[in-house]
Amino acid sequence: MAMQETTYRDALKLALSEAMTADDSVIVMGEEVGRYGGAYGVTKNLISEFGPERVIDTPISEAAIVGAAVGAAMTGLRPVAELMYVDFIGMTMDQLANQAAKIRYMFGGQIGVPMVLRTQGGTGRSAGAQHSQSLEGYVMHTPGLRLAMPATVEDAYHLLRQALQQPDPVVFIEHKGLYTMKGVLDPDVEPAEWGRAKVLREGKDLVIVTYSRQVHHALAAAEEMASKHGIEAAVVDLRTLNPLDFDTIRPLVEQAGRAMVVSEGVMTGGVAAELAARITEECFDFLEDPVVRVAGEDIPISVSPLLEQNSVPTPDLIVETARKMFA
């Protein structure tokens, strides 16, 4: 297939369609994934292509969706379950964290749970406190769950294809603010290795470690820092949080001596806290300053667009924080 311009949403749909064509064991299940085409349109028309036996509209029960997917994965299928919002992942934590994440260990390696749980997180739609959260920390905290968070059209496609080849459960969180973003996709190019971070911008003064939509904010901030303030910042897109590629982060931080972690999740006990602690432990002798976290406020997300926007990191906040590091 030739290189093409497409959207984040359509890159995900292409990955699903190709996987289902190549492997009859791949099924899709969730609320309104069939006739409606999914809450964000990712599964649109898949039911016409593969039929209701493989694109399954489920009741409105997150526990049932994930529980059925776990059972299907244990008995030979490779289900892709969709939760409409990551905010509802708490409804599934027994099935996901106590069952899917632990079955390989509990069965002595005799059986795994090769499923993908697709869900949507993040702010940007004024959807209110119960539909705007970034709860990847829940998943990262649970051993046995893999976690992918693509920031680009290219990674939306390739990471989903790779997730569908993993022997263990993968939680695949898509930022709801990225679905209409356009980019160039070459499905035939050799993708980056599963679990490998990408250095999207080189810089000798500061290393910004981030993922998902904040990658784009970090890149915009880095360009402004360079053009207006003479600060050259490297930007690392983690792509997956489990596996976590610290081997890419370490040498960059050792060279620059300063690091910033940017996450849309909350500040307290979040992903940014774990990454900052890890950088501090492993790069302490090379750090000129403490590792700085730029993360979401410890508050429920407001439905007000202005309050919502400023409750999570913005390019302006990243620039302001970086300038303070060099003051």
Report the pLDDT averaged over residues 226-255. Answer: 98
Counting residues of the chain whose pLDDT is more than 90, the rounded percentage is 98
Tell me, what's the pLDDT at 243?
98
- Is 159 within 8 Å of 240 (Cβ atoms)? yes
- The predicted pLDDT at position 270 comes to 96
pLDDT tens profile 20-73: 999 999 999 999 999 999 999 999 999 999 999 999 999 999 999 999 999 999
List pLDDT tens digits, range 152-205: 999 999 999 999 999 999 999 999 999 999 999 999 999 999 999 999 999 999
Structure tokens at 9: 């949403």
Tell me, what amino acid is at 322? A
Helices and strands of the chain, counted as H and E runs? 12, 14
Q: What is the model's pLDDT at position 144?
A: 97
The mean pLDDT of 232-251, rounded to a whole number, is: 98
pLDDT in tens, 123-157: 999 999 999 999 999 999 999 999 999 999 999 99
Strand pairing of 292-296 and 259-266? parallel
pLDDT at 271: 98
Amino acid 2: pLDDT: 73
Decide if pLDDT at 241 tops 90.
yes
CB 102 within 8 A of CB 94: no
At residue 1, the pLDDT reads 66
User: 220 phi and psi, to 5 degrees?
Assistant: -65, -40
pLDDT in tens, 250-298: 999 999 999 999 999 999 999 999 999 999 999 999 999 999 999 999 9
The beta strands (E) that lie in 139-275 are given as: 146-148, 170-175, 182-185, 198-201, 206-210, 233-237, 240-242, 259-266
Q: Rounded to the nearest 10 degrees, what angle do helices 246-256 and 271-283 cross at?
A: 60
Q: Delineate the domains of the chain, giving CATH numbers in brackets.
A: 4-185 (3.40.50.970), 198-325 (3.40.50.920)
The DSSP secondary-structure symbol of 193 reads P
What mean pLDDT is predicted for residues 216-242? 98
The reply to whether the predicted model has a pTM over 0.75 is yes
Alpha-carbon gap, residue 256 to 248, rounded angstroms:
13
- 253's enclosing H/E stretch is helix 246-256
Residues forming the active site: 62, 131
- Judged against a pLDDT cut of 90, whether residue 3 lies above it is answered with no
| Cβ atoms 40, 176 nearer than 8 A | yes
